[in-house]
Amino acid sequence: TGPVEFHGPHQAGIVTPAQDRLHFATFDVTATKRDDVIALLKEWTAAAALMTAGRDIGQYGAVNGPGEAPPEDTGEAVGLPPARLTITIGFGPSFFVDASGNDRFGIKAKRPAALVDLPHFIGDNLDANRSGGDIAVQACSDDPQVAVHAIRNLARIGFGRAAVRYSQLGFGRTSSTSRAQSTPRNLFGFKDGTNNLKLEDTDKLEQQLWVQPEDGPDWMVGGSYLVSRRIRMTIEIWDRTSLGEQEKIIGRGKGTGAPLGKADEFDTIDFGAKNSDGSFKVAAHSHVRLAHPQFNKGAELLRRGYNFVDGSDGLGRLDAGLFFLAYQRDPRKQFIPIQQQLSRSDTMNEYIRHVGSGVFACPGGVTPGSYWGEKLF
Ligand code: HEM
């Protein structure tokens, strides 16, 4: 329930052991002046430092200000512990250049080469209203009200300068980012996060997660790239699929989470093992095989997604799925080729649809006295 340190060499909320709840939002910057954007980022940073410490924002907070003015803090987190709140920021391609290619805030030249527009993937059915955004903010906490409070207050501060483009609540984590955590389950009922990058893998995090000095640009060193995908799951169809077929699609047992042919969750996957009929125990088009680093030139991801159910779709089906969040050192070498391979032949595709998408450059950590994105300006 305690606070997570806001300042540090990397932004909190990436390797931080995945919290239980998510409120994610992207913003369209409506300000047109560079100085207004800088002022907004300064105010957001100050508010984030206070909220993650479990404090009200502003000088007077929620209830101690003058009766004539709206409170500086909206108040719904008063009395709640910080519940490990982290607030993580990222900048999308459209923050650097507008649709006509114009340099919006004098930072076009600082757009990282790795911050590419994601290509179209087979089966994509993206809703523009749930995709993109100039700035992404990921708020994670063990208390949903604390996560919602964080996004709400940033939106309130942004009034007239940045507008919420879309937001997504996640009610349950679908990953673990530390070996001290148990592996949770996604809405297919499978353990998710077994073969994830974990905060204890410090060497691998340098190779796969954090932008290194030789990668550039300077302002991204110690940062990471976030890909977000709203993935709808057709769970009603999944629920009519046999247990054996479900396990074949994933490549792991549903109970233990062990690779097929093995006994324990963390056993190494044996991709060569065969059944008596000559087929692979971990099927050739199973999800874990196609996503595994061995078949992706060693590329890995730090997955940090959440389950969502946003009511129903009016056709008798739950609007349910996985809000996929993955951090990496370079999406051109990690998310993009992995997703290209999955989109071509993952047998799971029959049960999922990608309906929202985003890619964001998340700068390195904030030091006391600096603000989010300071090195960009
Ligand atoms: C592994 C589910 C989408 C990349 C897994 C596992 C499950 C799973 C159950 C096995 C447990 C584990 O090692 O974490 C899902 C579901 C998805 C989805 C239900 C969509 C609704 C994606 C996407 C990507 C991805 C879009 C990347 C483009 C991976 C990777 C692994 C993995 C890299 C680890 C493979 C390994 O090294 O063994 N996923 N996944 N997944 N998934 Fe997904």
pLDDT of 202-248, one tens digit each? 999 999 999 999 998 999 999 999 999 999 999 999 999 999 999 99
What's the mean pLDDT in 45-58? 97
Measuring from atom 30 of ligand 1, which residue has the nearest CA? 291
Q: In the predicted model, what is the mean pLDDT of the chain?
A: 97
Clarify whether residues 135 and 64 are in a common domain. yes
Measuring from atom 2 of ligand 1, which residue has the nearest CA? 192
Measuring from atom 31 of ligand 1, which residue has the nearest CA? 291
- Using CB atoms within 10 Å of the CB of residue 349, give its burial: 0 to 12 exposed, 13 to 18 middle, 19+ buried: middle
Q: Tokens representing 356?
A: 């929202």
Torsion over CA of 340, 341, 347 and 351, rounded to 10 degrees? -20
Clarify whether residues 88 and 231 are in a common domain. no
Clarify whether residues 241 and 132 are in a common domain. no
Clarify whether residues 236 and 318 are in a common domain. yes
Clarify whether residues 234 and 339 are in a common domain. yes
Measuring from atom 17 of ligand 1, which residue has the nearest CA? 322
pLDDT of 285-308, one tens digit each? 999 999 999 999 999 999 999 999
Q: Is residue 95 part of a domain?
A: yes
Ligand 1 centre from 322 Cα, in Å?
11
Q: Is residue 374 part of a domain?
A: no
Measuring from atom 6 of ligand 1, which residue has the nearest CA? 192
Q: Quote the DSSP letter at residue 69.
A: S
Instruction: Give me the interface pTM, i.e. the ipTM.
Output: 0.99
Mutate to test the pocket of ligand 1, among 168, 177, 195, 345 (most ligand atoms within 8 A of CB): 195
Measuring from atom 42 of ligand 1, which residue has the nearest CA? 291
Whether 246 lines ligand 1, by a CB cut-off of 6 Å, is no
∠ CA 223-200-13, nearest 5°, is 40
Q: Quote the DSSP letter at residue 210.
A: S
Q: Domains in the chain: how many in total?
A: 2
Whether 357 lines ligand 1, by a CB cut-off of 6 Å, is no
Tokens 């919602």 sit on residue:
148
Contact indicator for 290, 255 with CB cutoff of 8 Å: no
Q: Is residue 368 part of a domain?
A: no
Whether 287 lines ligand 1, by a CB cut-off of 6 Å, is yes
CATH code of 73's domain? 3.30.70
Whether 352 lines ligand 1, by a CB cut-off of 6 Å, is yes
Q: Is residue 111 part of a domain?
A: no
CA atoms of 144 and 140, how far apart (whole Å):
8
Clarify whether residues 162 and 39 are in a common domain. yes
Q: Is residue 366 part of a domain?
A: no
Domain that residue 49 falls in: 13-100+119-170
Clarify whether residues 266 and 357 are in a common domain. yes
Clarify whether residues 141 and 189 are in a common domain. no
The pLDDT score that the predictor gives to residue 2 is 83
The pLDDT score that the predictor gives to residue 8 is 97
CA atoms of 140 and 124, how far apart (whole Å):
27
Clarify whether residues 139 and 203 are in a common domain. no
Q: Which atom of ligand 1 is nearest to the CA of 288?
A: 35
Q: Is residue 3 part of a domain?
A: no
Clarify whether residues 137 and 166 are in a common domain. yes
Q: Is residue 6 part of a domain?
A: no
Clarify whether residues 234 and 290 are in a common domain. yes
Clarify whether residues 211 and 327 are in a common domain. yes
pLDDT of 133-188, one tens digit each? 999 999 999 999 999 999 999 999 999 999 999 999 999 999 999 999 999 999 99
Q: Is residue 240 part of a domain?
A: yes
Whether 302 lines ligand 1, by a CB cut-off of 6 Å, is no
